[in-house]
Amino acid sequence: MKIQPLINFEGKIICSPSKSYSHRAFFFSLLADTPSYVINPLISGDLAVTLDFCKSLGAKIEKSEEFKKSDLKVGKFPSDISETDSIYKIVPPLNLKQPIESLDGKNSGTSIRIITALIPLIPGQIKIGGIFFKLNRPLKPLLEALSSLETTWEYLDSETGIKINPRNSNTTEFKIRGDISSQFITGLLLLAPKLKSTPSNPNSIINLTTPMVSTPYLKLTEEIMKKFGISFQVDFNSESLMRYIIPADQKYQGKIIKIPGDYSSSAFIIAAAALNPFPSEVEISNLDPNSMQGDKVLIKIFKKMNADIKIDEQSQSVIIKGGNFLDGVKIDCKDIPDLFPILCVIGLFSNNNTILYNLNHVRTKESDRVSIMIRELKKMGAIINSIEDNNAIMIVGPQQIQGINIIHEDDHRIAMALTVAALFARSESTIVKPDIVNDSYPDFFKDLKSLGADIIGLS
């Protein structure tokens, strides 16, 4: 696929569904006692892995037109759901089943970490493989936390992945690092309410042993826990670190969950609109201003950088106008690892230097995003320096860049960020395996083209 330098950029699009909400909605529905309905979820890429995992554990998941119209007429669904919405029904199993075959988690960290956390509820050994293991992405801290339930595991070769054996499912205390991935804690939060109480302990406790990163993702998990009727308490332990107390023997109540638009995905379109040198307007709908998504902070970041951006709460839209010169700023990436790639691109074209810091955990996402973004942007001619013991980078701006052959290392957010950079290069760029964007934003290239991008080879 070829990407030509941008001439103009304007129009309206509907934001892609939230990847984070979709993962959680399906896994929570899997554990419920009654059916759930998930409205307008993302189902491609990493979500296809989650759907396969849920089905392998006994859930029945279907998209059906048969019940939609009749259910809407009798008021079964909320008034803001229409017949054009995509409705998935999830019928959970009475008890989780042992998968018959080894599961392929591909490179979906959320899918693999959550199903790993649910191992104590599964009656028997489970094997999980995928490129996740070839890339040595972190999982061991979660496995060590599960050892309090006498769970054992064995790493196989990088092709096969891991073999895990459950032991018991009683309440316990989990000790887990918070500075690697919030997905570890999300998985334990899903598990803990289903554990069995003991005479001496009616609760499970999740004790963090380090400060937390990506905290907003835990807030999102907490929000969905409440929707499914799960009670819990959050406070601080003796070391002033976060602690969860979760009563045992709880029942998840099947719910109707409407998936909001994804602020993480919208960041790429917002960036392209803000960088447009002409005062054209782009409107992105389906962005709830009250969403718990942590990457919603991108609105504040862009405002701080002098972008012309505003939220229309009534229409739940974000409106961006081009034509402004952006200012470089210093940005803490501790809670926003998914925004890092596009913030690098914004920094290229800002009036002064941009510093992005707290990057250690950004290196353990779908790829080492720090190293790859530095490599690819330097190929374009950018000047980027590592600082603060490689836990921060400084991007010198503004810069003129050249088109390149984009190598995204199978990381969807790097692919999208570098595509946006290519729109403002002085020559053509190419990208191989563009369908990697299906992991979070299947219509990314289609939306870019509808707004004015010249993309050759888009099917």
Catalytic residue positions, numbered: 338
Calpha distance 392→315 (Å, rounded):
38
The dihedral built from the CA positions of residue 40, 44, 49 and 51, taken in this order, carries a sign that is positive
Is the Cβ–Cβ distance between 381 and 400 less than 8 Å?
yes
Classify burial at 194, counting beta carbons within 10 Å of its beta carbon; exposed 0-12, middle 13-18, buried 19 or more.
Answer: buried
Proportion of the chain in helix, strand, coil states, percent, rounded to 5: 35, 20, 45
Calpha distance 281→369 (Å, rounded):
30
Is the Cβ–Cβ distance between 142 and 187 less than 8 Å?
yes
DSSP letters along 120-152, please?
A: GGSSS-EEEESHHHHTT-S-HHHHHHHGGGT-E
Calpha distance 426→153 (Å, rounded):
52
Respond yes or no on whether the N-terminal peptide bond of residue 398 is cis (omega within 30° of 0). yes
Apex CA 250: angle with CA 246 and CA 252, to 5°? 110
Number of residues that this document lists for the chain: 459
Q: What tokens were used for 223?
A: 């929000």
Torsion, CA 438, CA 441, CA 447, CA 448, rounded to 10: -80
3-state secondary structure of 355: strand
Q: Within a 13 Å sphere around the CA of 200, how many CA atoms are in the beta-carbon half? A: 2
Calpha distance 120→62 (Å, rounded):
27
Torsion, CA 209, CA 338, CA 88, CA 77, rounded to 10: 90
Q: What tokens were used for 429?
A: 């760029």
